[in-house]
Amino acid sequence: MIEVKSLVKTFDGFKALDGATLKIEKGSVYGLMGPNGAGKTTLLRHITGVYKQDSGEVLVDDAKVWENVNVKSHIASIPDDWFFYGQATVKEMMQLYKGLYPAFSVERYNALKDAFNIDENKNIKYLSKGMQKQVAFWLALSSMPDYMVLDEPVDGLDPVMRRRVWGLMMDDVASRGTTVLVSSHNLRELEDVCDHVGIMNHGKVILERSLLELQDNMVKLQVVFKDGEEPDLSALPILHDSRMGRVHTMIVRMCPESALNAVNKYEPIVSEAIPLTLEEIFIYEMGGLDNEINSILV
């Protein structure tokens, strides 16, 4: 389990993290979202032991991460700009990872050769950016980590490779209980893989829920009432209401069943509950709080 408690980090007077708190259960896939400058990368760098916090705590399996070699040996990290030695081949970087990560599995590395289909004797710097990212995943997955911390991980990968990489990670989650923390701007992609999401803004984690909980707590209703009838729905927790002809479209903060029951009391001609996408949930949940949130909803 990853626990971040009231984390504060200041760079030259700027508070990049201002009391960030989150909790990631073991075996979950946690999506971290937020606008540019929200503090996502800074938070991830604390979780991987790169930065030392000004205050607060970062715990992995109840142990502090900072300068904790034992904890770090179970965390594989893929930053947005992955490092490799200028002259190194894939095989040479594999040797390095093998020496550094005690659980590194050469069998897994060999098994993944087919999945990535990259010549391991090729100098990494001559590979395309997307292929370099594949090498990063190849080595990270071969390290057999308990935790994977990924910062914009699939940027530069083609759709087929994205699906393949996520598939491999989901296999690890299912088979080994690997915990994945992923920071991304791509909500549609996160929706497919995450079971928990957190959203950051101004150095704080302002919302943290399971995807199920979010989807169960908000619903889109499309309702058509009888001619001339305009029932008073102000008692309902409506976040958004629009009307096109006789069709009312409402976003209601209720579970779908309760919402339908509530409108059906007015005997509409048509009433339908439609599940919200992750993108829509965040638009309606957060849009009113902070306009900046909209910038992450692509």
Partner 1 sequence: MRSTASLFNKTLFSKDIKRLWPIWVVFSIIASLIGFAYSTGIRNNLAYYYNHPINLDARYTYYSIVSSLMPISAMILACIVTASVWGYLYTTRSTVFFHTIPVSRTGLFFTNLATTFVITIIPMLVAWLTFTTATITMGLFDPKGMFVSLLAMIAETLTMVSISTLCAQLTGRLAIFVLLDLSSNLFFAVAEELFSSFSVNFLYGVGSTPGIGLYVLSPVVGLINKLNPTNRESGAVRLEGYPIIVIYAAVALVLIAVAYLAYLSRKSEAATEVVAFKALKPVLLYSYAILGAVFFTWFFYDLTDNYNHQVYDLLKVILLMILFSTVMYFVGRMIIDRSVKVLKPKYLPGYIVMTALLVVFCFVMSKDPLGYVERTPDAEDVSSLYVNSSLGDIYLNEKDLGLIEYATDLQKTIATEGERKLNDELPEDYFNFTYMLKNGTRINREYRLNLYRENMNDKNSIESKVDEFYNLEPVLEKKFHLGGEFTFESATVYVTYYENDQFEKENEKYLTESEGLKLREALLEDLQAGRINRTDIFANGAISSEDDLMITIDLCSLVDTGRKYTRGTDMMLNAVVVDSGLAYGTYTTFPVDKSMTSTYEFLDSLGILQR
Strand partners, 4: 22, 58
End-to-end CA distance of the chain: 30
Question: How many positions of this chain bind partner 1 (CB under 8 A)?
Answer: 30
183 is a site residue for partner 1 (CB under 8 A): no
Q: Which CB, 69 or 235, lies closer to partner 1?
A: 69
Question: Could you tell me the smallest distance in angstroms from the CB atom of residue 99 to partner 1?
Answer: 3
Question: Could you tell me the smallest distance in angstroms from the CB atom of residue 142 to partner 1?
Answer: 14
Which x/- pattern, by CB under 8 A, does the window 67-106 give for partner 1?
x-xxxxxxx-x-x-xxx-x-xx------xx-xxxxx----
Task: Please check whether residue 32 is in contact with residue 189, taking contact to mean a CB–CB distance below 8 angstroms.
Answer: no
The two structure tokens encoding residue 241: 């209401």
Question: Could you tell me the smallest distance in angstroms from the CB atom of residue 69 to partner 1?
Answer: 5
**Cα within 13 Å of Cα(282), Cβ side:** 32
SS3 label, residue 117? coil
Question: Could you tell me the smallest distance in angstroms from the CB atom of residue 149 to partner 1?
Answer: 9
Phi, psi of 6 (to 5 degrees): 45, 50
Q: Which CB, 146 or 285, lies closer to partner 1?
A: 146
Per DSSP, the residues of 20-75 read: EEEEE-TT-EEEEE--TTSSHHHHHHHHTTSSPPSEEEEEETTEE-TT-HHHHTTE
Q: Which CB, 78 or 200, lies closer to partner 1?
A: 78
50 is a site residue for partner 1 (CB under 8 A): yes
Among 31, 34, 39, 49, contact with partner 1 (rule: CB under 8 A): 49
The two structure tokens encoding residue 212: 């199920």
Chain contacts with partner 1 (rule: CB under 8 A): 11, 45, 48-52, 67, 69-75, 77, 79, 81-83, 85, 87-88, 95-96, 98-102
